[in-house]
């Protein structure tokens, strides 16, 4: 099944051990973490923390809101939301190892009372109708073939006055996409589609796109800077190279190529119930 293949792609085997070891190497006590100290490694999407802030700042957040993070990964976005916006966050992710690491890091950062994580499928959310005021999704749709059900599930759990912010890599040109990339080693688990198709599927699910922004130039600059830093001083002790694995440099180079050829672009959409 594609779901098992996706989970296998992201599974690492010793992810928490490597992150904690890297923290010790740079002089950070893993038992008393500040969430910001994890930002170099726990925001696994183009632009990292900068991209997270750019998206969620458009979502009208205020203390006490219930926020769903779809495809929560290692929990970086969820912890940022809890710490900086005083909201209650629930994350769900397909990869069991990511969920376990997210829980551990959140506990070490002192945010376990505000943030919780579930292992599960985004196309079958284990939550009640209208149980969240906001929902976000960062670099998740590329691994989900059935986006119609995904968006219908988000709409189901979102309140009538809610907001859904998504930031996905989308198909923007006709040039062939080359692999591996951070979300897929081969086309078998990559389900890219165009922004227009996103809008169509969102509308069918009862969500209208209020704001849309192509972030290709931002993505190109981000990966160029990352590649330059790696070329100059090697992989960072604490960075996305830990998450991406041994072929991190190849994935970065191929991502830059795909972006520069305008075959893909990270794209923001801010949606509201129609």
Q: Where are the beta strands (DSSP E) in the chain?
A: 66-70, 88-93, 115-119, 132-138, 158-171, 207-214, 264-273
In whole angstroms, give the CA distance from residue 147 to residue 70. 13
Which pLDDT tens digit goes with each residue over 133-173?
999 999 999 999 999 999 999 999 999 999 999 999 999 99
State pTM to two decimals. Answer: 0.95
**Residues of the chain with confidence (pLDDT) below 50:** 1
Range of the structural domain that residue 174 is part of:
2-273
The predicted structure's pLDDT at residue 58: 98
In whole angstroms, give the CA distance from residue 262 to residue 225. 18
Q: Are 80 and 35 in contact (CB under 8 A)?
A: yes
Q: Are 65 and 34 in contact (CB under 8 A)?
A: no
DSSP-assigned letter for residue 171? E
Number of domains comprising the chain: 1
Percent of residues in the chain assigned helix, strand, coil, to nearest 5: 45, 20, 35
Q: Report the interhelical angle of 96-108 vs 2-10 (nearest 10°).
A: 40
Q: What CATH code is carried by the domain that includes residue 52?
A: 3.40.50.150
Q: Report the interhelical angle of 195-204 vs 147-157 (nearest 10°).
A: 50
Closest CA to 134 of 152, 158, 116, 101: 158
The predicted structure's pLDDT at residue 1: 45
């Amino acid at each position: 099944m594609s779901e098992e293949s996706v989970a296998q792609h992201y599974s690492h085997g010793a992810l928490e051990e490597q992150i904690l070891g890297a923290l010790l190497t740079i002089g950070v006590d893993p038992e008393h973490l500040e969430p910001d100290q994890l930002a170099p490694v726990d925001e696994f999407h183009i632009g990292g923390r900068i991209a997270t802030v750019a998206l969620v700042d458009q979502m009208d957040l205020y203390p006490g809101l219930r926020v769903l993070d779809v495809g929560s990964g290692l929990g970086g976005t969820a912890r940022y939301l809890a710490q900086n916006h005083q909201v209650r966050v629930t994350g769900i992710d397909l990869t069991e190892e990511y969920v376990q690491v997210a829980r551990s890091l959140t506990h070490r950062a002192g945010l376990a009372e505000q943030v919780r994580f579930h292992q599960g499928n985004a196309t079958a959310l284990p939550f009640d109708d209208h149980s969240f005021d906001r929902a976000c999704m960062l670099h998740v749709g590329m691994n989900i073939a059935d986006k119609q059900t995904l968006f219908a599930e988000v709409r189901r759990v979102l309140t009538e006055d809610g907001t859904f912010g998504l930031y996905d890599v989308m198909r923007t040109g006709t040039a062939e996409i080359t692999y591996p990339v951070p979300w897929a080693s081969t086309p078998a688990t990559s389900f890219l589609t165009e922004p227009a198709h996103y809008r169509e599927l969102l509308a069918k699910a009862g969500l209208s796109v209020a704001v849309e922004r192509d972030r290709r130039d931002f993505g190109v600059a981000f990966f160029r800077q990352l590649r330059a830093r790696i070329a100059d001083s090697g992989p960072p002790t604490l960075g996305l190279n830990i998450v991406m694995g041994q072929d991190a440099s190849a994935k970065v180079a191929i991502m830059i190529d795909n972006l520069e050829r305008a075959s893909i672009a990270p794209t923001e959409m801010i949606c509201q119930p129609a």
